Amino acid sequence: MPKAKSSPGPADSLAARLARLGVHSQAALITHLPLRYEDETRITAIRDVRDGLPVQLEAEVVDSSIQLRPRRQLLVRVRDVSGAATLRFLNFYPSQQKQMQAGARLRIFGEARVSFGEVDLIHPRVKVVDADAPLPTAMTPVYPTTAGLAQSALRKLIERALDQENLDDTLPERLRARYRLAPFADSLRALHHPPPDTPLAVLEDRSHPAWQRMKFDELLAQQLSLRKAYAARRAQDAPALAQRSTLTDALLRCLPFRLTGAQQRAWQEIAHDLADAHPMQRLLQGDVGSGKTIVAALAMLRAAEHGAQAALMAPTEILAEQHCRKLTGWLAPLGIEVGWLSGSLKKSRKRALIERLQSGELLLAVGTHALIEDAVDFPNLALAVVDEQHRFGVRQRLALREKGSESRSGARRASPHQLMMSATPIPRTLAMSFYADLDVSVLDELPPGRTPVLTKLVAESRRDEVIARVREACATGRQAYWVCPLIEESETLQLKTALETHQRLQGELAGLAIGLVHGRLKSDDKAQVMEAFVAGRIDLLVATTVIEVGVDVPNASLMVIEHAERFGLSQLHQLRGRVGRGAAESACILLYAAPLGVAARARLKIVYENADGFEIARRDLELRGPGEFVGSRQSGVPLLRFADLTLDAAIVERAREAAEIMLRDHGDLAQTHLARWLGTKQDYLKV
Ligand code: ADP
Ligand code: MG
């Protein structure tokens, strides 16, 4: 790393400034690629200047003056053989004024404004030159930079890195040929210093072969690191849970339904993984209502029938509680107890439960984040299940696994198998990219007997009709949800809105039993309301998004979402998934406040037109881009700088294949490639 000449303090050393750009070593500078280019390889005659386009002129100063009105500015009149132009500087140093004295010859680069034959350039870049000064032979790169790091200084640093660093190709010849990729060094040079005839459009839209190579390399690095992390975990020991089935078969026999084909397939894949003496690392993906819980229950029961422990962690208390109830319903008849652990549990009961887990006497536990608290230990954990895994941070997800692989005193044990579940379906390319360190099972089939949910968009002005509809549904013995307007900025306001909505609806729907759940409710109270709703003692449940995930009450057939325009796509889809779970005709009413903004209209249209979570996810990805879709913190994978998962799906597939080949046949090159592209970020990827 080059040292700063004058360092005003460690906080703003050159290294710190480069770090802000994500550049942590000299080697990383070579892949700090230009945002755009300026063409200083040619001079345009003033007469040929076009309005609004960047241009380079070479002209002589005729005169310069400071104008005071309408505001103080330096005006410099220049002329070449074809015409005259005016340069305007609103901020300027005396030295600049001096430099641009009459007679000085200038190279001027900037965006021109042409009106009524007058050519103006505001704040152009200006250099004094001799008459025969040579022109650059390549385009001038413009790099992303940061405060305190001048473009010219950054260019020099990158120049030096390109001279000194190793630019050897990390792709074996046969892979380069197979994917028709340009050599690395050539691509890099073409991007930092494109020759004058390069069409700027293909550079700037990143379709140029040099860009294709960079994107491939970046995606390859991602695949390599994820596949390596996968292989490293796979190499650990795990308890092998053979496919002996006493209890699991019994459970399948007494279920009130038959597993769907997709559930059977997923369960077989999981059972197969569990029988192995290496940890399973599997993601179970399935749209809302596809029946993931029973698959998790089977896997947990498999652990129990081997006398080993399993834990299921869910993001909200409502959901964890519901899982606990479901699992108990399925497993208690088989003589298997399910422990319940949440933050709100009374101290003494919590302590008793922790002791029973610690002694290994209690095999199965369901809970919230409380499961990963320090005091909790599973001496015999064979399986860690995380439901709605996207709701947890990376560290929380891993903490549960680590509960099993390390005792409280830090002693190593075998690693537990890991099952993650997600109802946010992820488009294939995104899954391939972000979940390359997991095996994936997909539930692509809903249990039979579901009726599709009718979705309606209704303006708020027609709220009366919606109220009538709720009354009607409840009169026929059905139940309904009413989701309060979302107020993301303030929890206090959110609470206030929930209370007000509840009150207002009690007035509008007098005679109905109306319950309220929100995030601030004490968990006992929350549980009571949910229980009453499940039991049918509550007709209408007014709720905040605490019911977004998992809640399963098949008798509820109507969902009203107030101010639907404020919700995100996947949120709306998840909420809608709360109804249509029984045989009754179900509807979801999206109440919106007119007029709708463009983005909100687009979102509502997508939810209205699509019932399939995968399709909605795909459209969501298009709307928001992968960065927001799967935040880097959440996925544990650094965001891609160059590749775009919505556009570069084909490259992801090739990079995945190439990663397998390289890890198998070219371990050294794979290592060099990772060092080049990820450098210090490799540690981050291991989490
Ligand atoms: P999700 O995948 O959204 O977590 P759940 O596991 O909550 O879905 O299942 C939704 C509902 O479907 C539950 O009431 C569950 O008992 C029921 N269910 C699951 N599998 C089947 C099946 N094969 N046939 C009928 N109902 C099922
Ligand atoms: Mg679920």
CATH of the domain at 309: 3.40.50.300
Nearest C-alpha to atom 19 of ligand 1 is from which residue? 291
Asked whether residue 588 is domain-assigned, the answer is yes
Can you tell me whether residue 216 is helix, strand or coil? helix
Query: Does residue 286 line the site of ligand 1, with CB under 6 A?
Result: yes
Label residue 186 by pLDDT band (50, 70, 90).
very high
CB 197 within 8 A of CB 65: no
- Note residues around ion ligand 2 (Cβ under 5 angstroms): 550
Nearest C-alpha to atom 22 of ligand 1 is from which residue? 447
**Are both 188 and 330 inside the same structural domain?**
no
Residue 685 has pLDDT above 50, yes or no: no
> Looking at ligand 1, which atom is closest to the CA of residue 293?
6
> Looking at ligand 1, which atom is closest to the CA of residue 294?
6
**Are both 126 and 162 inside the same structural domain?**
no
161 CA distance to ligand 2 middle (Å): 51
Q: Which of 583, 610, 637 is where one domain is finished?
A: 610
258 CA distance to ligand 1 middle (Å): 10
Query: Does residue 446 line the site of ligand 1, with CB under 6 A?
Result: no
* N-terminal to C-terminal alpha carbon distance within the chain: 27
What is the domain range of residue 514?
453-610
Provide CB contacts within 8 A for 163, sequence distance 6+. Answer: none
469 CA distance to ligand 1 middle (Å): 27
Nearest C-alpha to atom 14 of ligand 1 is from which residue? 552
Residue 11 has pLDDT above 70, yes or no: no
Q: Which of 388, 414, 443 is where one domain is finished?
A: 443
Nearest C-alpha to atom 15 of ligand 1 is from which residue? 291
**Count of Cβ atoms closer than 10 Å to residue 338 Cβ:** 24
Which tokens belong to 426?
Answer: 């992820």
**Are both 79 and 192 inside the same structural domain?**
no
Per the structure, the count of domains in the chain is: 4
447 CA distance to ligand 1 middle (Å): 7
**Are both 335 and 433 inside the same structural domain?**
yes
**Are both 500 and 534 inside the same structural domain?**
yes
Q: Which residue has the tokens 């030096």?
A: 160
Query: Does residue 285 line the site of ligand 1, with CB under 6 A?
Result: no
576 CA distance to ligand 1 middle (Å): 15
Tens digits of residue pLDDT in 586-602: 999 999 998 988 889 99
Q: Looking at the CA of 446, which ligand is closest?
A: 1
Provide the greatest CA pair distance for the chain: 98
Strand intervals (E) in 381-484 = 381-386, 417-422, 439-443, 453-459, 479-483
Query: Looking at residue 550, what is its pLDDT?
Result: 63
Asked whether residue 4 is domain-assigned, the answer is no
Asked whether residue 679 is domain-assigned, the answer is no
664 CA distance to ligand 1 middle (Å): 41
Asked whether residue 448 is domain-assigned, the answer is no
Which tokens belong to 659?
Answer: 């990663």
Asked whether residue 85 is domain-assigned, the answer is yes
> Looking at ligand 1, which atom is closest to the CA of residue 387?
4
Q: Looking at the CA of 327, which ligand is closest?
A: 1
Query: Looking at residue 626, what is its pLDDT?
Result: 62
> Looking at ligand 1, which atom is closest to the CA of residue 263?
23
Query: Does residue 260 line the site of ligand 1, with CB under 6 A?
Result: yes
> Looking at ligand 1, which atom is closest to the CA of residue 295?
6
286 CA distance to ligand 1 middle (Å): 11
Nearest C-alpha to atom 20 of ligand 1 is from which residue? 291
Residue 1 has pLDDT above 50, yes or no: no
Query: Looking at residue 635, what is its pLDDT?
Result: 47
363 CA distance to ligand 1 middle (Å): 24
Q: Specify the higher pLDDT residue, 488 or 295.
A: 295
**Are both 30 and 49 inside the same structural domain?**
no
**Are both 423 and 550 inside the same structural domain?**
no
Residue 686 has pLDDT above 50, yes or no: no
Tens digits of residue pLDDT in 621-661: 777 766 555 544 344 455 678 888 777 888 988 999 999 99
Tens digits of residue pLDDT in 410-453: 777 789 999 999 877 677 777 777 778 889 899 988 888 777 89
292 CA distance to ligand 1 middle (Å): 7
**C-alpha torsion angle, residues 289, 609, 473, 325 (rounded to 10):** 10
Query: Does residue 578 line the site of ligand 1, with CB under 6 A?
Result: no
Nearest C-alpha to atom 4 of ligand 1 is from which residue? 292
Can you tell me whether residue 28 is helix, strand or coil? helix
Query: Does residue 206 line the site of ligand 1, with CB under 6 A?
Result: no
Q: Which of 578, 595, 610 is where one domain is finished?
A: 610
Query: Residue 483: which of 408, 567, 544 has the closest Cα?
Result: 544
**Are both 252 and 192 inside the same structural domain?**
no
Half-sphere exposure of 27 (CA within 13 A, CB side): 12
Q: Which residue has the tokens 């995930």?
A: 549
Mean pLDDT of 401-416: 78
Asked whether residue 302 is domain-assigned, the answer is yes
DSSP conformation class of 258: P
419 CA distance to ligand 1 middle (Å): 17
**Are both 284 and 419 inside the same structural domain?**
yes
570 CA distance to ligand 1 middle (Å): 19
Q: Looking at the CA of 326, which ligand is closest?
A: 1
**Are both 429 and 540 inside the same structural domain?**
no
**Are both 420 and 563 inside the same structural domain?**
no
Q: Looking at the CA of 292, which ligand is closest?
A: 1
Cα-based distances in Å from 450 to 265, 305, 557, 586: 20, 33, 11, 9
Tens digits of residue pLDDT in 510-542: 999 999 998 888 878 888 898 899 999 999 999
**Are both 523 and 570 inside the same structural domain?**
yes
Query: Does residue 574 line the site of ligand 1, with CB under 6 A?
Result: no
Query: Looking at residue 609, what is its pLDDT?
Result: 93
Query: Does residue 257 line the site of ligand 1, with CB under 6 A?
Result: yes
Query: Does residue 581 line the site of ligand 1, with CB under 6 A?
Result: yes
Label residue 681 by pLDDT band (50, 70, 90).
low
Residue 104 sits in a domain whose CATH number is 2.40.50.140
366 CA distance to ligand 1 middle (Å): 18
Asked whether residue 59 is domain-assigned, the answer is yes
Please give the Cα distance from 347 to 358 (Å, whole number): 16
Residue 3 has pLDDT above 70, yes or no: no
Tens digits of residue pLDDT in 234-253: 999 999 999 887 899 999 99
Asked whether residue 27 is domain-assigned, the answer is yes
